[in-house]
Chain A
Amino acid sequence: MSLKILVTAKRVEDPESKIKVKPDGSGIVTDGVNYKMNPFDEIAVEEALRLKEKHGGEVIVASIGGDKSATEIRAALAMGADRGILVRHDGPLDPVGVSAVLAKMFEQEKPDLVILGKQSIDDDQNQAGQYLAARLRLPQATFASKTESLESEAEQKKEPGLRLAADGKSLAVVREVDGGVETLEVSLPAVVTTDLRLNKPRFASLPGIMKAKKKELKELQASALGVELAPKVVVKKLSAPPSRKGGVKVADVEELFSKLHGEAKVV
């Protein structure tokens, strides 16, 4: 029993970077901003690797974007993914377009499982996985998590949080939902999106980085796939959110209480 898994690795602004809007609202200031793999995608790659280590199989990593997106695919290959596919596309892209490309890839590669991050930390849309599942009429398990903490023994041993059934035909997924946790069993092939507590992604080792350079990274033009990529989600204008005015430091609990009680009147 082995699993062929397709994972995504989107190039996004480093979450530690300070994001500022251009004065004309046409985009964000990219000077001095660092880029990295979307943190939720790192978790997706890690989970795919753990499943492969336990059950055997292959991990294919895909990204859509300009030539710089190859960096994120190489990062996933350095973590241990087997091969990469870069779909070259410059300009804006929305979840409708991303899912159209991934659907084409699904038809070509016929994986058992597609794992995506639940959202990318730039557009914060949380749509691509669900939209892809709808296009392909596949079952979906979003916001995959696990019941053990990230400090647990299972996590130290890099046990996968997604549990494959004994017959290899379905996957049990613990999901983070409002009010608690839910478990779903999805028949394969299926689409899974990752939440933060599914795992702690590994760092690429130096030998891993060296090996990654020799791994296959196929490039193809998005236009060659015959999918419509003109954005349907049209960003008309960006702006900075209203800022809060600076507050005051209080000397002690006595003063804090009198401020909350007398001034703000919230307690």
Chain B
Amino acid sequence: MANVLIVAEQFGGAVRKATLHALSAGREVARRTGGTLHVAVLGSGIGPVAEELAGYGAEVHAADAAVLEHPLAEAHAPVVAELARAVEATHVGAAATAFGKDLLPRVAGLLEAAMATEVLGFGGEGAEVTFRRPMWAGNVLAEVALATPVKVFTVRATEFPAAAKEGKGAVTAAQVSVDAGALRTRYAGFTEVKSARPELTEARIVVAGGRGTKGDFKPIEALADELNAAVGASRAAVDAGWVPNDWQVGQTGKVVAPELYVAAGISGAIQHLAGMKGSKVIVAVNKDPDAPIFQLADYGLVADLFKALPELAEKLKKSR
């Protein structure tokens, strides 16, 4: 049997949206391989989350145990690997979030499986299914095959639609044979970056600032709020400590593909472009007419962002 196991991500009693995109990818692999889609969800007190996931028509396996309360790879990976064996999974996948990127390679290691990270699409059928993924900061696309019986992958959520509710899958309890006392990882805390704005990877519009803000993100945030947009940042702005690192867009930050991306005071280093060049419409506002971002932008405005952004926000307000 060629079964597909998608590892769901849940946080605070809710399914992370990226998981819904990973479910679509999993469904595609199941179609290409003629297998059944299974979903693993791990945590403590996750009954409602498992029920919610069952609404997407997959077989849900809920590993509910105190030892899985926090997303520790050392505790989660053996449970996922054991489940993959139990359902005879040939493919094990998840969304390429921080959680997925931490956990799935460890699962691959336990299953002695080869893995493809940040998959954008699939090709071929059956055991010959191939994976399309970016290399060199998105400057190259590679078609890769995984030459191990079990194949592991993470997917870039922006490349797959969110799964729709369909039918009602069964929820079964998955076995958890991890001993809390044997763990050598201790969860010592989490500091959440709270925001009233939409989440960066989910937002329809993103307004991002870079070095050109000189640390003053007020015009970026004001325009974002006018547009109900998320706020992003270049690595320079994050490194300087001006904004939380959670806001970074790029090869090593988040990958976004909104309908509109406004880059203000961002020169456009390839590492940044790797995280946003899939956006539908790109606007660049920069004082430097030679900034590389202008080669990518659909609409470029050579101007001081401290004047242009408030002016644009004002026009938006009047147009309502």
Docked complex Cα distance between A261 and B277 (Å):
21
Q: Which of A131, A150, A178 contacts B99 (CB 8 A)?
A: A178
**Inter-subunit contact B190/A19 (CB<8 Å):** no
The one of B145, B244, B298 that contacts A247, using a Cβ cutoff of 8 Å: B298
Q: Quick check: is A9 within 8 A (CB to CB) of the other chain?
A: no
Q: Which stretch from B28-36, B48-56, B159-167, B232-240 is at the chain A interface?
A: B232-240
Q: Which of A148-162 contact B (CB under 8 A)?
A: 148-152
Interface of B, secondary structure class, is mixed
26 pairs of residues in contact across A and B, judged by CB atoms under 8 Å: A121-B251, A124-B133, A125-B115, A126-B117, A130-B105, A131-B108, A135-B109, A139-B185, A140-B102, A172-B188, A176-B246, A184-B187, A190-B184, A197-B238, A233-B144, A238-B141, A239-B140, A244-B282, A247-B296, A252-B301, A253-B301, A253-B303, A256-B299, A264-B299, A266-B280, A267-B319
Most B C-beta atoms less than 10 A away, residue of A134, A151, A254, A260: A134
A249 touches B109 (CB 8 A): no
Asked if A21 is at the interface (CB within 8 A of a chain B CB), the reply is: yes
B window 70-120: CB within 8 A of A: 72-74, 77, 97-99, 101-110, 112, 114-118
**Interface residue A179 (Cβ < 8 Å from any Cβ of B):** yes
Binding site for A on B (CB under 8 A): 11, 16, 72-74, 77, 97-99, 101-110, 112, 114-118, 130, 133-148, 183-193, 205, 227, 235, 238-241, 244-246, 251-252, 259-260, 270-271, 277, 280-283, 294-303, 308, 311-312, 315-316, 319
Q: Which residues of A contact B107 (CB under 8 A)?
A: 134
Which of B108, B252, B294, B299 is A196 in contact with, Cβ under 8 Å? B252
Q: Closest CB of chain A to B288's CB: distance in Å?
A: 13
Q: Is A127 in contact with B108, judged by CB distance below 8 angstroms?
A: yes
Please state if A131 and B74 are interface contacts (CB–CB under 8 Å).
Answer: no
Q: How far is the CB of A267 from chain B (nearest CB, A)?
A: 6
Known contacts: A99-B109, A197-B245, A236-B143. The answer to whether A139 contacts B184 by CB under 8 A is yes
Instruction: Tell me, rounded to whole Å, the shortest Cβ–Cβ distance linking A184 to chain B.
Output: 6
A-B pairs with the 7 shortest C-beta distances? A134-B109, A149-B241, A130-B105, A232-B114, A187-B184, A127-B105, A247-B298
Q: Are the CB atoms of B147 and A234 closer together than 8 Å?
A: yes
Q: How many A residues face the partner with a CB closer than 8 A?
A: 86
Candidates B193, B283, B300; contact of A260 at CB < 8 Å: B283
- Residues A132 and B246 in contact, CB atoms below 8 Å apart: no
Which A residues are CB-close (under 8 A) to B312? Answer: 253, 256-257
Complex CA–CA separation, A241 to B296 (angstroms): 13
A15-B270, A127-B115, A248-B300 are known; give 7 further A-B pairs, CB within 8 A.
Answer: A134-B77, A182-B189, A183-B188, A238-B143, A244-B282, A257-B312, A267-B227
Q: Which of B107, B139, B140 counts the most chain A CB atoms within 10 A?
A: B140
Q: In the assembly, what is the distance between CA of A197 and CA of B118, in Å? A: 22
- What is the CB-to-nearest-CB distance from A9 to chain B, in angstroms, rounded to a whole number? 18
Are A232 and B147 within 8 A (Cβ)?
yes
Interface of chain A residues 62 through 82 with chain B (CB within 8 A):
none
Does B72 contact A235, Cβ atoms closer than 8 Å? no
CB distance from B291 to the nearest CB of A (A): 12
Given contacts A139-B74, A196-B235, contact A21 B319 (CB under 8 A): no
- A197 to B247 Cα, complex, angstroms: 13
| Contact residues in A for B101 (Cβ distance below 8 Å) | 126, 142-143
Q: Determine whether the beta carbon of A197 is less than 8 Å from that of B190.
A: no
Instruction: Check B280–A19 contact: CB distance below 8 A.
Output: no
Q: How far is the CB of B9 from chain A (nearest CB, A)?
A: 9
Are B299 and A259 within 8 A (Cβ)? yes
Q: How far is the CA of A260 from the CA of B207 in the complex (A)?
A: 14
In the complex, A95 has a CB within 8 A of chain B: yes
Q: Do A130 and B295 touch across chains, with their CB atoms under 8 A apart?
A: no
The answer to whether A249 touches B114, judged by C-beta atoms less than 8 angstroms apart, is no
Which residues of chain B are within 8 angstroms of A197 by Cβ–Cβ distance?
238-239, 245
Q: Mark A113-144, 1 if CB is under 8 A from B, else 0.
A: 00000110111111111111111001111110
Assess whether A249 is in contact with B302, with CB atoms less than 8 Å apart: yes
Does A219 sit at the interface, judged by CB under 8 A?
no
* Residue contact B260 to A94, C-beta cutoff 8 Å: no
Cβ of A13 to closest chain B Cβ, rounded Å: 7
User: Closest CB-CB distance, B266 to chain A, in whole Å?
Assistant: 15
For A225, the chain B residues whose CB sits under 8 A away are none
Question: Residue on B with the closest CB to A18?
Answer: B139
Give Cα A122 to B16, complex, Å. 29
Give the interface centre of A127, A133, A239 by most chain B CB atoms within 10 Å. A127
